[in-house]
Amino acid sequence: MAHYKVEQDDWLIVYLKYLLFVFNFFFWVGGAAVMAVGVWTLVEKSGYLGVLASSTFAASAYILIFAGALVMLTGFLGFGAIIREDRGCLSAYFCLLLAIFLVELVAGVLAHVYYQRLSDELKQHLTRTLAENYMQPGATEITASVDRLQQDFKCCGSNSSADWLQSSYILSPEAEGRRVPDSCCKTVVARCGQRAHPSNIYKVEGGCISKLEQFLADHLLLMGAVGIGVACLQICGMILTCGLHRRLQLHFY
């Protein structure tokens, strides 16, 4: 009977090891996905960050990169702990899973909070940016962000192209008679902004605010969804780790 009990414990340990190994593989892949989303946000979409008043969006991306890198390192620790059946490594693995879960929870809260205040911030800040900062000394990054925004989203102005009539740049001699910046044009050529006709410039209902708001909302939801997916994997991992740790403890004692 005792021999049967030992064999049963051995079978359960092997079963839990395989389950945890499979989980750890998907967990590692999830970490790579989390880090990839964060890096993509900062590298590919960083051109839009200059028109945002808050740094919360960028902060969420940095947290995802940190969490993703930590997940991948933890995954390697998990593989070692599973293969060696080391209870100390399993305990450290569990603690790291818990820490990563809390980090991703913070990132998810930031994304949710920022999503709620996104519309108000954009409406207040983008209009002011176009009027006061575009093409002004020391505002090269903001100018480039606005130009890229208008070209990528095929829009013109904060709410409409009429917003540019209040711009310090358009009212200055440097504008050379432009009614809108050249980045509003469907085909960008020198001084094409002098002709503000719908056949020449982008006329979009809701202007760039509606386009940027939708883009950021979708992107924040993507960041949140990836974080939630990995968090669910972590809960499973913590349960499996506790089970294997308990079985190893009973097996050796």
Decide if pLDDT at 159 tops 80.
Answer: yes
Q: What is the pLDDT of residues 195-224, one digit of tens each?
A: 888 888 998 777 888 887 787 777 777 767
Counting the structural domains of the chain, the total is 1
Average pLDDT of every residue of the chain: 76
Q: What SS3 state is found at 201?
A: strand
Residue 245 pLDDT grade (very low, low, confident, very high; cuts 50, 70, 90): low
pLDDT at res. 6: 45
- pLDDT at site 249: 59
Angle at 238 between CA 233 and CA 241, to 5 degrees: 120
| Rounded Cα–Cα distance for residues 235 and 216 (Å) | 28
Please tell me the pTM assigned to this model: 0.63
Question: How many other CB atoms sit within 10 Å of the CB of residue 26?
Answer: 15
Domain that includes residue 160, residue range: 1-252
Contact 184, 167 (CB under 8 A): no
Query: pLDDT > 90: what percent of the chain?
Result: 6
Pairwise CA distance, residues 183 & 147, whole Å: 5
List pLDDT tens digits, range 71-103.
788 878 777 777 776 677 777 877 887 887 777
Q: How far apart are CA 245 and CA 66, in angstroms?
A: 27
pLDDT band at 5, cuts 50/70/90? Answer: very low
Q: How many other C-beta atoms can be found within 10 angstroms of the C-beta atom of residue 146?
A: 26
CA distance 7 to 123: 67
What pLDDT does residue 184 have? Answer: 93
∠ Cα 161 123 62 (to 5°): 115
